[in-house]
Structure 1
């Protein structure tokens, strides 16, 4: 009878315990979520690095500079017409 209880305890611990099957599935799901978040942050960092490089003193992208001046400062050329 005691052997049955010990076996039941170890079976329960293997499934429900801190290091059990359900905890492992939960950890793997969290890992996948964090990996997706990391991938998004890496892509965002790469995009920001590219934009920073394009606006640096060594490499000046006039189209990007024009876009940023329009977006941030509200600049427009004299021959442009803005429609509401």
Structure 2
């Protein structure tokens, strides 16, 4: 009976060692997976860098659109009845109606 109990102890030690080894392997796998996701995942470092670049591009585009809007608002303001610019009114009327003579020189400012 002594040999039989010793065999049980050996198997238990092997099982305990295998359980600990598998626990360490699972833990290492989990740490590796979450580390990889933190770097290249949908919300990781690489994604945040590309988001920052996109924000900078959109900010520049917004500034360009705001400048265009300010220029358009300025032209509209010049056409208001309070401060009517006769040259601008003449330019717009001729361009819209197509009343250009051969000796007219038109410079389009955008």
Flag whether TM exceeds 0.5 (same fold): yes
After TM superposition, the structure 1 = structure 2 runs for residues 51-66 of structure 1, keeping only pairs within 5 Å, are 51-66=75-90
> Would you tell me which structure has more helix in proportion to its own residues?
2
1:81 maps to: 103
Structure-2-length-normalised TM-score? 0.64
Q: CA RMSD in A?
A: 2.0
1:76 offset after TM fit, Å?
Answer: 4.1
1:9 maps to: 33
Q: CA deviation digits over 1:48-81, x for unaligned, max 9?
A: 110110000111011111111221112247xx62
Structure 1 consecutive aligned stretches of length 4 or more whose deviation exceeds 4 Å: none
Q: Which runs of 5+ in 2 are unaligned?
A: 1-24, 106-110
Q: Which runs of 5+ in 1 are unaligned?
A: none
Structure-1-length-normalised TM-score? 0.81
Tell me how many residue pairs correspond in the alignment: 81
Larger Rg: 2
* Cα gap change, 1:82 to 1:59, in 2 (>3 Å): closer
